[in-house]
């Protein structure tokens, strides 16, 4: 079956194509493999992050003490959502320790609260940057694959006209190989560009939802801190 598949007319045409066409098709194949691999990895990572985030938000609604926050942060410390919570808790503990060293055992003041807020949103930004890493590959591939397909189209047409010039004939047997190469590279470019664009838009939408969940998590943390420790 594989022998029949790889010996079909399409593969025979690819085998007979010139070096430039094969280079374009090979590049598009590598781009497609890279895009699908990245998408699958990001999809699984975002799905796991979403599950952990939902669990954390559920726990957050039931928590009312720092001990509860510490326990949940320790349980989810290896997740991206847990990283935000753990980093913020560490910043909070550092502020409390600093106040104690200064002989101040009162609640957090406005300046301390602003520092804690900065630490929290910095952790959120770090988490989102980690999630967004690699998405440029999908957006770049969506644009570059189209251009590579267009390059292959133009090259195939040039190849066809060169064949006409060499053979001094314009019959179908003369121009067919060049036209076929042009159409194949166009098709290959679209087969890479369209999925890459869809993947990029899907992951961007999921990241926007993750960002919203992170800010909801931050609001829950703020609520607990404000009630217990802030003027």
Per-residue confidence (pLDDT) for residue 170, from 0 to 100? 61
Asked whether residue 113 is assigned to any structural domain, the reply reads yes
Q: Which long-range contacts (CB under 8 A, 24 or more apart) does 16-21 make?
A: 16/177, 17/177, 17/181, 17/184, 18/159, 18/181, 20/152, 20/155, 21/152, 21/155, 21/156, 21/159, 21/181, 21/184, 21/185
Alpha helix positions (H), 133-171 = 135-167
Range of the domain at 116: 18-43+82-229
Asked whether residue 48 is assigned to any structural domain, the reply reads no
Asked whether residue 68 is assigned to any structural domain, the reply reads no
Per-residue confidence (pLDDT) for residue 36, from 0 to 100? 95
Asked whether residue 39 is assigned to any structural domain, the reply reads yes
Name the pTM for this structure.
0.75
Domain count, the chain: 1
User: In which residue ranges of the chain is pLDDT below 70?
Assistant: 1-17, 63-68, 70, 73, 96, 98-113, 163-178, 225-231
Asked whether residue 213 is assigned to any structural domain, the reply reads yes
Asked whether residue 61 is assigned to any structural domain, the reply reads no
Name the DSSP class of 230: B
Asked whether residue 29 is assigned to any structural domain, the reply reads yes
Tens digit of each residue's pLDDT (9 = 90 or more) over 14-41: 666 677 778 888 899 999 999 999 999 9
Per-residue confidence (pLDDT) for residue 165, from 0 to 100? 65
Asked whether residue 59 is assigned to any structural domain, the reply reads no
């Amino acid at each position: 079956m594989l022998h029949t598949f790889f010996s079909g007319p399409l593969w025979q045409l690819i085998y007979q194509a010139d070096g430039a066409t094969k280079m374009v098709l090979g590049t598009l194949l590598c781009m497609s493999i890279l895009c699908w691999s990245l998408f699958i990895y990001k999809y699984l990572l975002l799905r796991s992050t979403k599950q952990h985030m939902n669990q954390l938000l559920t726990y957050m609604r039931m928590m009312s003490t720092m001990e509860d926050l510490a326990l949940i942060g320790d349980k989810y410390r290896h997740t991206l959502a847990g990283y935000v919570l753990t980093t913020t808790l560490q910043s909070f503990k550092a502020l409390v320790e600093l106040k104690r060293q200064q002989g101040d055992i009162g609640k957090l003041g406005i300046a301390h609260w602003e520092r804690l807020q900065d630490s929290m949103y910095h952790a959120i930004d770090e988490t989102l940057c980690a999630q967004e890493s690699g998405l440029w590959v999908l957006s770049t591939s969506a644009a570059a694959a189209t251009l590579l397909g267009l390059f292959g189209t133009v090259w195939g047409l040039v190849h066809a006209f060169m064949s006409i010039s060499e053979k001094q004939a314009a019959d179908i047997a003369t121009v067919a190989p060049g036209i076929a190469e042009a159409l194949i590279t166009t098709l290959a470019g679209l087969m890479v560009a369209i999925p890459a664009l869809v993947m990029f838009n899907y992951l961007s939408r999921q990241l926007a939802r993750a960002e919203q969940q992170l800010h909801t998590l931050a609001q829950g943390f703020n609520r607990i801190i404000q009630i217990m420790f802030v003027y």
